[in-house]
Amino acid sequence: MAAMEKRSREAWQELDKGHHLHPFTDHKDLHAKRSRIITRAEGVYIFEADGQRILDGMSGLWCVNAGYGRQEIVDAATAQMQELPYYNNFFQCAHPPSIELAANLKEVSQPHLNRVFFTGSGSESNDTIVRMVRTYWDLMGQPQRHTIISRDNAYHGSTVAAASLGGMKSMHKQSGLPIPGIVHVDQPYWFGSDRSLSPAEFGLAAARSIEAKINEVGPDKVAAFIGEPIQGAGGVIIPPDTYWPEVQRICDEHGILLISDEVITGFGRLGEWFGADYFGTRPDFMPFAKGVTSGYLPLGGVFVSDRVADVLVDKAGEFAHGYTYSGHPVACAVALANLEILQRENLIERVRDDIGPYLQAKWKALAEHPLVGEARMVGLMGAFEIVRDKVTMERFDKDQGAGTVFRDTAIANGICLRASGDTIICAPPFVLSHAEADELIDKTLRTLEQTREALAP
């Protein structure tokens, strides 16, 4: 058996169909069409097995922030594999990459976030948080504080606990979720509301649905609130400015732990190190993954505030939780190389001051197109809403699959964007040049025209 064979696209598609179960995939549908086989990538472009070049407007899956083809990340992984390919951080051991990375992460996070627990992914990070939150309140002598409040349509991962924290009904339905002690409130999705309130009023109302839930559950029973600074997979839901300050007030007033899920927004996507920095919140936990390594290797983790970490350290005894790959040395070495690149090339400042504003202006102007109801973007995280009627904001019928028509047409035009229903999402690498941003917009406009023709009655 060869480690990796070079085959034709068709041969790979056939093997894929026969042996490979994909994440979040309708396999019958996939097998009718066959998989798109991506074989290599460079900069902001991915290449299909037949050679077609596609501008990756999604940074892989919101992760390849530093762009593809970074030799120094490859070199860091190679050197670490030669030195120490694996060792664990259990049983009173540690190794330089996990220690150095933890110390580096402290440097870029808010001053009260001094400690990090490593995991292998965002989902694992959120599982870890459920355990830590409940352990914290047990140790504080308030074991009845068990309930975690999350939001409709949130995405926090796919393990049992993370999918329970998430608010996606389709995920809950498939496996009897959520687990007990997790409840959901409104998401701050102004465009998806009846728009009778101003965005500012709506932001306050959405935040106050948390307070209503606290009163319903009982203020002494609520342990934590979790939210993505901007909901990602749910459609890039950018909350009105009034939302996060009010959420912070509510958490403070009720003594509830605040969890800012930074798996997408962390490491610069919004032009600040973290979404919490962008919105001015002071979280007790920040789960992260994806951008910490720019996706070059799997790594996740949880920033833990001094308020919680001090109690865990002083009172928990052994916290019986961890993963074989918590702080994997090669993944940590890759993260260190990636953070070096972000800092040396000022990529986060670039998102804030240069390519972010440049793309935002053009992206928001897409709202002038007859098919676009709203176009929004913060940093390099944006979306637009496909509508049938711009005045009434009426949507297309679900079975027309407008979002899917757009996405598939976009791929044929050489650009990869993601459809969440009829919301089209864009989150390109931070190294996107102005010319590549122009290409992204030109191809999006062409695709919008073709989608309009395809959906015309």
Residues that bind ligand PXG (CB under 6 A): 61, 121-123, 126, 155-157, 228, 232-233, 261, 263-264, 289, 300, 418
CB of 175 or CB of 346, closer to ligand PXG: 175
Shortest Å, Cβ 234 to ligand PXG = 8
CB of 246 or CB of 261, closer to ligand PXG: 261
Shortest Å, Cβ 166 to ligand PXG = 8
CB of 223 or CB of 419, closer to ligand PXG: 419
Question: For residues 171 and 218, what is the distance between their CA atoms, to the nearest angstrom?
Answer: 27
CB atoms within 10 A of CB 322: 16
DSSP string, 86-126: ---S-TT---HHHHHHHHHHHHHS-TT--EEEEESSHHHHH
Shortest Å, Cβ 157 to ligand PXG = 3
CB of 246 or CB of 262, closer to ligand PXG: 262
Q: In sequence order, what E strands does 94-208 have?
A: 115-119, 147-151, 182-185
Question: For residues 361 and 367, what is the distance between their CA atoms, to the nearest angstrom?
Answer: 11
Q: CA-based angle 259:265:266, to the nearest 5? A: 80
CB of 21 or CB of 391, closer to ligand PXG: 21
Question: For residues 35 and 30, what is the distance between their CA atoms, to the nearest angstrom?
Answer: 7
Question: What is the DSSP-derived secondary structure letter of residue 291?
Answer: G
Shortest Å, Cβ 200 to ligand PXG = 25
Shortest Å, Cβ 167 to ligand PXG = 12
Looking at beta carbons, which residue is closest to ligand PXG? 122
Write the single-letter amino acid at 228: E
Residue with tokens 């920033």: 303
| C-beta of residue 415 within 8 angstroms of C-beta of residue 47 | no
Shortest Å, Cβ 302 to ligand PXG = 11
Question: For residues 342 and 349, what is the distance between their CA atoms, to the nearest angstrom?
Answer: 9
Shortest Å, Cβ 289 to ligand PXG = 4
CB of 192 or CB of 369, closer to ligand PXG: 192
Query: Between helices 199-217 and 243-254, what is the axis angle to 10°?
Result: 20
What is the per-residue burial (b if ≥16 Cβ within 10 Å, else e) of 249-284?
ebbeeeebbbbbbbbbbbbbbbbbbbbbbbbebbbb
CB of 97 or CB of 157, closer to ligand PXG: 157
**418-420 and 423-426 beta bridge pairing:** antiparallel
Shortest Å, Cβ 55 to ligand PXG = 18
CB of 300 or CB of 356, closer to ligand PXG: 300
CB atoms within 10 A of CB 227: 29
CB of 205 or CB of 380, closer to ligand PXG: 380
Provide the 3-class DSSP secondary structure of residue 60.
helix
Q: What is the Cβ-side half-sphere exposure of residue 215, based on CA atoms within 13 angstroms?
A: 5
For the chain, how far is it from start to end, CA to CA, in angstroms? 53
Shortest Å, Cβ 175 to ligand PXG = 16
Shortest Å, Cβ 186 to ligand PXG = 18
- 381-386 sheet: strands from edge to edge: 372-378, 381-386, 423-426, 418-420
Write the single-letter amino acid at 44: V
Shortest Å, Cβ 283 to ligand PXG = 13
What is the chain's length? 457
